[in-house]
Chain A
Amino acid sequence: MEYAIETEKLTKKYGELTAVDGLDLRIKRGEIFGLLGPNGAGKTTLISMLCTMLEPTSGKARVNGFDVETQASEVRKSIGIVFQDPSLDDELTAWENLDIHGELYGMRGGAKQKAIENALQIVELYDKKDELVKHYSGGMKRRLEIARGLMHAPAVLFLDEPTIGLDPQTRRHIWDSVRKMNREKGVTVILTTHYIDEADVLCGRVGIVDHGKIVACDAPSKLKTKGESLEDVFLRLTGSDIREEKASNQTMRLRMRAWNR
């Protein structure tokens, strides 16, 4: 069981569209693995299947040694996730959101309290802990979601575009915390991002995904040939066309609303 993630011809189809296409992926325990890819490449769909929120159309996937379909509850005990889309309870305060999270993940009393305080301090929201989340700005909500994701140290942590829309200072803080968790607690991290520099500095390996397939997968330094930047590699492999994000209107509207608040 040396792999934290193991997929075998993992596939997800939405009607005609194949969002994840026969993917074979192996991620070792203790890695920080980056998934890079244009909009609609299938990164979120892949993560949704790995975290048991979406059933694969075909193929297999194991997370922390457990099958995502037949051992879903074991998988859920092994993971933590920061979703791409909003997932906070707006009617509650930041503290209450994290408190619920802590209890859902079996934390109690003083340990829970410390974990919440610590997480809020990382994203610098401690002073605003008693404000209702609906009064938060889009960036603050995102920071809170990341704080929540960093509260407990799971075997595998998924971060789906965690730092989108955040300023460079906050991004650095978050990188540090992710690295620390990885180093001190042995948490395997799977991260998707649009910021290529983020993947470059944070990830031991990156997989470049396009049209539901992995087109390249290696250490950033090895992918870069002849003095290329990682961005050059990315563009060389995925082309320079702009991809329309075909998220449902619903998701788009909610996301816009979340960011504009």
Chain B
Amino acid sequence: MSEYTAIKVLWKRELLRFVRAKSRIAGSLGMPLFFLLFLGTGLNSAISGTGGNYMEFIAPGIIGMVLMFSSVANGLIVIMDRQFGFLKEVLVAPVSRLSIVAGKIFGGATTSIAQAAIIMLIMPFLGVSFALSGMITAFAFMVLISIAFVGLGIAIASKMEDMHGFQLVMNFLVMPLFFLSGALFPLTNLPSWLKVLTMIDPLTYGIDGMRGALTGSSAMPLWMDFGILALFCAAMIALGAWLFTKKSTGN
């Protein structure tokens, strides 16, 4: 039995579920669109005095938001699979645990990049447009962000018994990660306590990297953003794989 086939079929399953859940996709795109539309437009005029374009500034932040939230939400699928029993069908199959995690990570990353792509297609209609060359670099960051946060989602799901616990994590971990990431405000001239927090937040590097790629201005050099994000990504894959494997073998 080739592990490659197993990864592919689990990846396909995530895509199938994704295209079935149209209302869920619409729901998950609502919040970022509101942020972009209302916050973007509202603060655009407030900040226009400084000569910047706020809508363009937060656009990469919103892409990062979509990527992180939809990626971490893959943990919810793991919990649901456990509760509704489908996980047993997968775990008892002649497939290694690592391939199962890999299938989930690739599937989850693909669907969250698809959601980010939908937002990016809407952006030009709100007056935000990016050069194609920048998008290719940004795509590399999108891949890293989504893989890293699917890994985190799987890790959390392996520690949680039910969906309520998971919801709590979304509110108390993922929300702060979003607000501290510099998605909505520039990282320059922050009070030092806030500066430290933003530097700890891995999403900061993803959003700064995308912003550099798409708008040409980033707080840190792109190679540094990419390097730190890549390290975080590797750590999250390892953590997700380790906790998932541990959970599914220890009774």
Contacts and interface: CB of A to CB of B under 8 A. Distances in A.
Contacts of A83: 85, 88-89
A124 interface: no
Contacts of A104: 1, 6, 9, 90, 93-95
B88 A91 contact: no
A106 B251 contact: no
B96 A96 contact: no
Nearest to A80: B92
A96 B94 contact: no
Contacts of B249: 55, 72
Contacts of A54: 251
B13 A100 contact: yes
B85 A103 contact: no
B6 to A, nearest CB: 6
A86 B6 contact: no
Interface string A6-45: 0000000000000000000000000000000000000000
Given A91-B17, A92-B17, A100 B85 contact: no
Given A92-B13, A96-B16, A100-B9, A53 B85 contact: no
A91 B20 contact: yes
Contacts of A87: 85-86, 88-89
B49 interface: no
B28 interface: no
B128 interface: no
Interface string B13-38: 10011001100000000000000000
Contacts of A51: 92
Interface residues of A, number: 31
Interface string A99-120: 0110111100000000000000
Given A55-B250, A103-B9, A106-B1, A254 B85 contact: yes
Nearest to B249: A55
Contacts of A100: 9-10, 12-13
Interface string A68-111: 00001100110101010111111110001000110111100000
A81 B21 CA distance: 29
Contacts of B2: 106
B91 interface: yes
Given A54-B251, A91-B17, A103-B9, A254 B83 contact: yes
A116 B10 CA distance: 18
A69 to B, nearest CB: 10
A89 B1 contact: no
Contact of B251 (A55, A77, A103): A55
A164 to B, nearest CB: 15
A53 B91 contact: yes
A229 interface: no
Given A89-B86, A89-B89, 8 more contacts: A52-B92, A55-B250, A73-B94, A89-B84, A96-B13, A101-B89, A104-B1, A254-B85
Interface of A: 51-55, 72-73, 76-77, 79, 81, 83, 85-92, 96, 100-101, 103-106, 132, 148, 250, 254
